[in-house]
Amino acid sequence: MLYLPQNLIMKIVSVGTVAFDAIETPFGKTDKIVGGACTYISLSAAYFNDSPNLISVVGEDFPKETIDLFKKRGINTEGLQIKEGEKTFFWSGKYHQDMNTRDTIDTQLNVLESFDPIVPNSYQDCDILMLGNLTPSVQMKVIQQMETRPKLIVLDTMNFWMEIAMDDLKEVIKQIDVLTINDEEARLLSGEHSLRKAAKIILQMGPKYLIIKKGEHGALLFGDNNIFYAPALPLEEVFDPTGAGDTFAGGFVGHLSTCDSINWEAMKKAIIVGSAMASFTVEKFGIERLVALDENQIEERINEFKKLVSFN
Amino acid sequence: MLYLPQNLIMKIVSVGTVAFDAIETPFGKTDKIVGGACTYISLSAAYFNDSPNLISVVGEDFPKETIDLFKKRGINTEGLQIKEGEKTFFWSGKYHQDMNTRDTIDTQLNVLESFDPIVPNSYQDCDILMLGNLTPSVQMKVIQQMETRPKLIVLDTMNFWMEIAMDDLKEVIKQIDVLTINDEEARLLSGEHSLRKAAKIILQMGPKYLIIKKGEHGALLFGDNNIFYAPALPLEEVFDPTGAGDTFAGGFVGHLSTCDSINWEAMKKAIIVGSAMASFTVEKFGIERLVALDENQIEERINEFKKLVSFN
């Protein structure tokens, strides 16, 4: 049910980290496991799109099995640079009891320090460009390499870049169609506490649509002089929130790539699909749950979201 | 549109404070103004029910104009005790920048200290009993005076009673059908962080339904092995959150009193109506906005809530 014939699906290119994470939550602790924004984005999108294109960089320590997994899922890894003699980006963090906040314990940039993204020729004619959380100037470099402007450019970012590279970030935000950030970041970027006022200001910075992710409180979509509130499914347990936002983004662009046209109605459904995908990722550590889904489970979860808000 | 013929409307009895508040928010400051849980509940319910019955106590300093306002709105004040020579309950508080948290600056119990609620004969045959936030033992006294058990008993409470009177609170919770609390209180009452797990535990304590109010993040309804997520309308400005929860409760029981039967579908709509009513109250200080509504505004706001979550 999730796949359309190839010729009807829009072409997705995603940029972001492919990395190692070590995570501690109130429920447990992992050693180095595979993570990274573009890992989650691509694996999530691959449930809807039979050939999402990935741009990233890893070191020679990155497991071949994961690259094989990408390929098996139809993910095009031509844009994945593998740097011999270098090490993969590593992040380690610990979540607080409430699971909404976390401390970074260690960040080793490694290959990311000199990451110069190269868009392969086969990635041109991209319909949907998904810029995962990265240095804004690197995100910009990818936009600039696109020979024709994608139909839709989606950008994810975080407070860190607002603090140390706000000017670069504002430049890239001018070029995009959809910005995805969380509520605190929306407040930081706009200087407004009210999310409705914040959205107004941010929509004047360039994007046509703004998605404000509120974790366990759902997500808001602003644009077309309209607001949509996507709920979050209350879960028995949020085991590990790492990658939830990226899984959301992957489901979002994945669903949009199957739509006849990208408009308000398509956006709303895409946010529900993204939320449903993210609700799986948080159930286990890393990509464990995300890679183990089947189409029925996804359809069922999307229906749960529908039921959650429907009333007469 | 909001009124049904008198004989089809269920009888509501509400208990709670009728009081003075002095409020400071980031947007301004009030002197002593009229407030109190039962004030908001009754004024809100009166848009849906032509004769809600109020039980409360005030001192001789309470303005006659407000009591006249109650009567003008159809609110039956036979259960309002006016204590000569005594003073009305007074609360003063200051909201933090985020508007979700507040400090109590002053509490003068006054008439509330010895409040002994008396249910007038004319309040018997009550269909819906709304127990506003009060000492649990006082809430219990009202239940005990009901000659026939109401069809629906709704109870609102707060963390304060969980801290100083948990045993009494648990006793009264055993007797009720719907409990309304916020997310932190649900965690405190159940000892569980996950709201889904918290709900399971609380629903074993007595109530058939649990409503978890999450302020700007909406509200969750648990019960009948089901979950419903009511969104909150993102507002330009939340001016003063005081009374939002009570206005919600008033709209909730007000709507239910017009329903053929009280079931899951009715509950869901009632929560949307309650949320819509609460979204007005927070737009101005005290009851100012709540008393100035017309039916069209209410209907429009309810439609905004519908639109906010609808997708294909």
Residue B244 is predicted with a pLDDT of: 96
Contact B45, B70 (CB under 8 A): no
Which of B197, B231, B312 is closest, CB to CB, to A236? B197
A218 vs B: CB within 8 A: yes
Residue type, B284: K
Average pLDDT over residues B5-21: 88
To the nearest whole Å, the CA of A25 is away from the closest chain B CA by 14
Question: What pLDDT is stored for residue B100 in this prediction?
Answer: 75
pLDDT score at A111: 97
CA distance A250 to A293: 14
Distance between CA atoms of A307 and B232, rounded to whole angstroms?
A: 17
Domains contained in chain A, number: 1
Structural tokens at position B235: 């507002």
Task: Please tell me if residue A229 touches chain B, with a CB cutoff of 8 Å.
Answer: yes
The answer to whether B56 touches B34, Cβ cutoff 8 Å, is no
* B2 within some domain: no
Q: Is the dihedral of CA A238, A241, A247, A248 positive or negative?
A: positive
Q: Which chain A residues in 161-200 lie under 8 Å from chain B, judged by CB atoms?
A: 193-197, 199
A236-269 b/e (C-beta count within 10 Å ≥ 16 → b): eebbbbbbbbbbbbbbbbbbbbbbeebeeebbbb
CB A243, CB A215: distance < 8 Å: no
φ, ψ (nearest 5 deg) of residue B182: -95, 180
The 3-state secondary structure of chain A reads: CCCCCHHHCCCEEEECCCEEEEEEECCEECCCEEECHHHHHHHHHCCCCCCCEEEEEEECCCCHHHHHHHHHCCCEEEEEEEECCCCCCEEEEEECCCCCCEEEEEEECHHHHHCCCCCCHHHCCCCEEEECCCCHHHHHHHHHHCCCCCCEEEEECCHHHHHHCHHHHHHHHCCCCEEEEEHHHHHHHHCCCCHHHHHHHHHCCCCCEEEEECHHHCEEEEECCEEEEECCCCCCCCCCCCCHHHHHHHHHHHHHCCCCCCCHHHHHHHHHHHHHHHHHHCCCCCCCCHHHCCHHHHHHHHHHHHHHHCCC
Amino acid B48 reads F
- CATH number of the domain enclosing A48: 3.40.1190.20
**Residue A3 placed within a domain:** no
Q: Does A196 contact B308 at a Cβ distance shorter than 8 Å? A: no
Residue A129's region, left for phi above 0, alpha for psi from -120 to 50, else beta, is: beta
Residue A237: per-residue pLDDT:
83
Assigned domain for B3 exists: no
Indicate yes or no: CB of A234 within 8 angstroms of CB of B268. Answer: no
Residue for token pair 């007038």: B120
| A187 inside domain | yes
Is residue B1 a part of any domain in this protein? no
What does the mean pLDDT of chain B come to? Answer: 95
Residues above pLDDT 70, as percent of chain B:
97
Contact A234 B193 (CB under 8 A): no
Q: Would you say residue A5 lies in a domain? A: no
ipTM score? 0.89
Q: Please, are residues A48 and A255 in contact by the beta-carbon 8 Å criterion?
A: yes
How many angstroms away from the CA of B93 is the closest CA of chain A?
Answer: 21
pLDDT tens-place string over residues B117-147: 999 999 999 999 999 999 999 999 999 999 9
End-to-end CA distance of chain A: 28
Asked if residue B206 is part of any domain, the answer here is yes
Residue A30 domain-assigned (yes or no)? no
**What pLDDT does residue B9 have?**
86
Residue B265, chain A, CB below 8 Å: the answer is: yes
pLDDT at B236: 87
Contacts of B287 (CB under 8 A, 6+ apart): B33, B34, B35, B39, B40, B43, B243, B281
**Tokens representing A85?**
């003699």
Report the residue of chain A nearest B264, measured CA to CA. Answer: A311
The pair of three-digit structure tokens given for residue A210, joined into one six-digit string:
């703004």
- B173: closest CA among B165, A134, A59, B282? B165
Q: What contacts A172, CB < 8 A, 6 or more positions away? A: A131, A136, A137, A139, A140, A143, A155
Q: Quick check: A232 and B236 CB within 8 A?
A: no
8 A C-beta contact, residue B231 and residue B309? yes
Q: Which two tokens stand for residue B145?
A: 């005076």
Range of the domain at A140: 11-16+37-82+120-309
- How many A×B Cβ pairs under 8 Å? 89
What is the SS3 string spanning chain B?
A: CCCCCHHHCCCEEEECCCEEEEEEECCEECCCEEECHHHHHHHHHCCCCCCCEEEEEEECCCCHHHHHHHHHCCCEEEEEEEECCCCCCEEEEEECCCCCCEEEEEEECHHHHHCCCCCCHHHCCCCEEEECCCCHHHHHHHHHHCCCCCCEEEEECCHHHHHHCHHHHHHHHCCCCEEEEEHHHHHHHHCCCCHHHHHHHHHCCCCCEEEEECHHHCEEEEECCEEEEECCCCCCCCCCCCCHHHHHHHHHHHHHCCCCCCCHHHHHHHHHHHHHHHHHHCCCCCCCCHHHCCHHHHHHHHHHHHHHHCCC
Does the structure show a pLDDT above 80 at B2?
A: no
CB-CB neighbours of B201 under 10 Å: 14
C-beta neighbour count of B150 within 10 angstroms: 21
Q: What pLDDT is stored for residue A210 in this prediction?
A: 98
Q: Under a CB-based contact definition with an 8 Å cutoff, are residues A26 and A241 in contact?
A: no
- φ/ψ region of B126 (left if φ > 0, alpha if ψ in -120 to 50, else beta) reads beta
* B1 pLDDT higher than 50: no
> What count of other Cβ atoms lies within 10 Å of the Cβ of residue A61?
14
Residue type, B88: T
How far is B208 from chain A, CA to nearest CA, in Å?
18
The tens place of each residue's pLDDT in chain A, 312 residues long, gives: 455 555 568 999 999 999 999 999 988 899 999 999 999 999 999 999 999 999 999 999 999 999 999 999 999 999 999 999 999 999 999 998 877 788 999 999 999 999 999 999 999 999 999 999 999 999 999 999 999 999 999 999 999 999 999 999 999 999 999 999 999 999 999 999 999 999 999 999 999 999 999 988 999 999 999 999 999 999 988 889 999 999 999 999 999 999 999 999 999 999 999 999 999 999 999 999 999 999 999 999 999 999 999 888
pTM of the model: 0.93
Q: pLDDT at position A1, please?
A: 42
Q: Structure tokens of A49?
A: 């799109």
